[in-house]
Each structure stands twice: as C-alpha cells, then as structure tokens.
Structure 1
Amino acid sequence: MTLDEKIHQYAQRLPYSFQEEVFDFVQFLLLKAEQQEKQDFESLSLSNAMRDMEDEPDLYSLSDIRTTFS
C-alpha cells in the first residue's frame, strides 16, 4: 500500500471536522513547500549570478567619472 493510500485510509476514519483540519494542514504544507522552493530558487539564482564576480576586473574607476553631483 502506498503512502497516499494509507493517508486516505486513515483520513476516512476521522470525523468530518477532523478531515477538514487534515485538508487545511495539507494546504498549509503545500504553501510552505512552495515558499521554500521559491526561496531556494531565488537564493540559487542570486548565488549563480554573482558567482566569480569578485574575480572580474574593475571596468571603471573614479577617474572615469566626468560629472559629479553634490
């Protein structure tokens, strides 16, 4: 028997109000997993974008500035 079948079997034995709580909890876990996946992706994307950037030579210096604003 698979895990989802076991969960379904146990959930069917619960009173309806508890089944609603199980459903709410499953929705919460899905949202939490989506947020974690999004956070992991954003972190990975940023780290990949910035990777080896400190090794790149500076393209410009202060002497390249022609107009200053004060």
Structure 2
Amino acid sequence: MSVARIKDPMVERKPSVDENSKGLNEKIRKYYRHEESLMPLRISRNTVILVKPEKCNEEYAEKYRKEKLGI
C-alpha cells in the first residue's frame, strides 16, 4: 500500500518553466505590437536598427552613422 505524499504548502518550490509570471504575457504581446510598426534600416554591413516608417530613409541612416557611430 502506497502512502500519498502531501506537499507542505510552506515549502518553496521551483518556479514553473512552462508558465510566465503574472502580467508577462501581456507585456510580451504589447512589445510585439509595438515592434510590428517598426521598419528595419541598414546602418552598416553588420548593423540594422528598427525605426518608425517616416525615419526609414538614407538621410536618417547617415545622421545615425554620424551621431551614434562616429562614421
């Protein structure tokens, strides 16, 4: 006859890797909605940034290179 093991409710348990913490799912959805509105802009061979559609042009890329990268 097996004895059912009752877990002590006061003992800390490992967090579940299958579930996100409270509110995290909504934050993830909000981030993805925000990211959908952005466009990729190539700055250099290795650098691509996400910008709003109105900034997705060569003039902005050149300004970004000068200010941020010092190129």
TM range (shorter): 0.3 to 0.5
Structure number with greater CO (CA < 8 Å, separation at least 6) is: 2
Larger helix proportion of the pair: 1
Q: TM-score, normalised by structure 2?
A: 0.35
More strand by share: 2
TM score, norm. by length of structure 1: 0.35
| Structure with larger Rg | 1
